[in-house]
Amino acid sequence: MTTPPPQGQAPYPPQGGYPQQGQAPYPPQPGAPTAPMPPQKPKRSVRQYLRIGGIILGLAVVAGGYYLNNDDDSKKLAVGDCLTNTGSDTSPEIKQLDCSDSKADYKVLKKDGSTSVSQLACQSVKGTTAALEWKEGSDSFVLCLGNNK
């Protein structure tokens, strides 16, 4: 006596080229095209790496040249020196000048490196008309400026 097949299964194996569930309908034929492969990322040549390296090196040289040739004289100024701002209030470009020069607008009244808040550093300095905060990395100071004229 044979036992009946479990529920949900066909009582007899499939016949005549009908695929079972989850199988491909026909096996791939030799020489037949298969599914397209995803495109591979092209490999970079040595020439491309040299070009990228050259661009990075060029940018580093330009940035270094700007840093070394920056004409901002803020770091050199001391109490009693005179200056002019050739930039704007939000982006100052300081040029140190002789105090007898007619273009010298301001005179340094105090240079404070203990705080970087100009209102606090220049609050008690008599004659202050402007303040300049200078920051570069961890180095910072405030210049309290008065009119030179």
Q: What single string gives the DSSP state of each residue in the chain? A: -PPPPPTTS-SS---TTPPPTTS-SSPPPTT---PPPPPPPPPPPHHHHHHHHHHHHHHHHHHHHHHHT----GGG--TT-EEEE-S-SSS--EEEE-TTSTT--EEEEEEE-S---HHHHSTT-TT--EEEEEEETTEEEEEEEEE--
What is the mean pLDDT of the segment spanning 59-77? 68
> What confidence score (pLDDT) does residue 33 get?
64
Q: Which pTM value belongs to this model?
A: 0.49
- Residues 133 and 116 sit within 8 Å (Cβ to Cβ): yes
Least confident of 65-69, 85-89, 98-102: 65-69
Q: What percent of the chain has pLDDT over 90?
A: 3
What's the pLDDT at 44?
A: 74
Mean pLDDT of all residues belonging to the chain: 75
- Whether pLDDT at 55 is above 70: yes
Q: Strands 106-112 and 94-97, how do they pair?
A: unpaired
The Cα 47–Cα 65 span in angstroms is 27
Model confidence pLDDT, tens digit, residues 1-36: 556 656 655 555 555 555 556 555 666 666 666 667
